[in-house]
Chains A and B, each alone.
Chain A
Amino acid sequence: MDELPVALALLLVACAGTAAVATRDPVRQSLVLGVLGLALALLFTVLQAPDVALSQLAVGTALTPLMVLLSVRKVRRKARSERREEHE
């Protein structure tokens, strides 16, 4: 019975990971990625590793989605300007 939190956290991580892989659009994927980071932080806490969970929170909640979204934005802008050049 003591292992129930661990099992549930593992289940959550598995679901979030599968969902992150199954989402095709990068923008929507970054949202699921944020949830996966939170699930991993929970798993680390349940496994008595709060230091790892702390760094996971710091990186996973704001930094990873920000970098993904910024790169998507840059790529899209580049594609748009190239298309405009082709028209001209």
Chain B
Amino acid sequence: MNGWLAAACALLVLGLLPALAAACTGPVLRRVLAQNLTTVLTALVLLLLAQGYARPAYGDLALVLAVLGPAGTLVFERLLAEELAASPARTPFQRLMGLAGTAAVPPVVLALAVVTDPGRATVKLLLTGCLLLAGSAVCTRALTAAWGR
């Protein structure tokens, strides 16, 4: 077991389990935000696992998730619009979750980009990171807008 796998395990325990707990309780807005956070964290864990197992092909999973994850969250945003508009005001915890979804991406992606050999793999990694950041930001903004309506 190397450091990358250990980092993936740590992210799984410290990130995904709390996000799951947040997705199971509380108002709808918090649940959807937690679902968005789960998507981002899962993609990061997949990237770390790809490096840990030394199989760059596993990075494709993270790329697919970076594209499909925001689509899924936007589906919830669209079909739950009424309930989201009726849910109570945003709490600091929910703001923290929205922030964590974007703040967790750069450290992991940059650390991985440093150790991968320059070339197509680096480009793919950075593309995944950019997609994750953009998707998370768009989803958080759409959810906030849905609440304000």
Contacts and interface: CB of A to CB of B under 8 A. Distances in A.
Interface string B49-78: 100010101101100110011011001100
Contacts of A69: 75-76, 79-80
B20 A16 contact: yes
Interface string A2-44: 1011001100100110010011000110111011001101100
Given A8-B9, A42-B12, A19 B24 contact: yes
A66 B68 CA distance: 12
Contacts of A35: 19-20, 23, 34-35, 38
Contact of B61 (A1, A27, A45): A45
Given A4-B9, A9-B12, A45-B46, A61 B32 contact: no
Interface residues of B, number: 40
Given A5-B49, A32-B23, A54-B61, A12 B39 contact: no
B9 A73 contact: no
A46 B75 CA distance: 28
A50 B31 CA distance: 28
12 contacts: A8-B12, A22-B24, A28-B31, A34-B35, A34-B38, A35-B23, A38-B42, A41-B46, A42-B16, A45-B49, A45-B58, A73-B79
Interface of B: 1, 5, 8-9, 12-13, 16-17, 19-20, 23-24, 28, 31-32, 34-35, 38-39, 42, 45-46, 49, 53, 55, 57-58, 60-61, 64-65, 68-69, 71-72, 75-76, 79-80, 83
